[in-house]
Amino acid sequence: MVQAAGVTRNPMLERLYPWLKLLVMALGAAIIVLLCDRGYAAEPGQTAVLQGEERDAALHDIEAYFNHIDTLKADFLQLAADNSLSEGRVYIRRPGLLRVEYDPPAQFLIVGDGRWINMIDYEVKDVSRWSIEETPLKILVKPNLNLKKDVKVKAVEERDGILRLTVSSPDVPGQEKISFTFSHTPFELRQWEIDDGNGNVTRVALTNIEKNIDVPKSLFTFEDPRNTRPRGPRR
């Protein structure tokens, strides 16, 4: 046991803390599933692949959800394919601006600056980027979202009040497909999963979601580790 500032600390519990936190989040997601009203056609405990009018209704609900968001802030917990855990915050300012900010010791940052999705790795001093239009993450920031026109929809599924949209992105390395998961009551983005096409899946769960609050434009800049020049939204 370690004593500091009058607080007793248990090193074993501290090592277990990230896994306990993930368990709590998983239980919370399970509670959401149990409490949500079923919005479409799936029988309890079964997954329905939505077609026709039900599929169109689900896509309309997703479009309406994002198109009514100006800004969003949320905490996230990420479980990578290697079972490593990271946490941090997501900021969105539509149109075009996205920031996925990882807590230390992670040295990684994702910034959408209105034109590009920049993936900054401060550990190796490298920046990779793709046009926002090339990645399904544009769902989060594109104005007047129209899913049938803007992305390649692979599947729309429903199970016990949870709606899942899967879109493909074969042209972006490491993002073969991305799935977005929504609760029905309230209708809310809860999670996304990135599948690299090789069986490696990264899951990002959102909590403490706040919408249409003040999110300053200055958040969507970053320090370029290659030359220390600040980069940010184009004017």
Span 68-75, average pLDDT: 98
pLDDT at residue 1 greater than cutoff 50: no
Percentage of the chain lying above the pLDDT 70 cut: 74
Each residue's pLDDT tens digit, 164-206: 999 986 566 556 789 999 998 899 999 999 998 888 999 999 9
Hey, what domains does the chain have and what are their CATH numbers? 11-231 (2.50.20.10)
* 44 upstream amide cis, omega within 30 of 0: no
pLDDT at 70: 97
pLDDT at residue 50 greater than cutoff 50: yes
pLDDT at 135: 85
Which residues, in sequence order, are bridge partners of residue 100? 90, 110
Average pLDDT, the chain: 82
How would residue 36 be classed by pLDDT, with cut points 50, 70 and 90?
Answer: very low
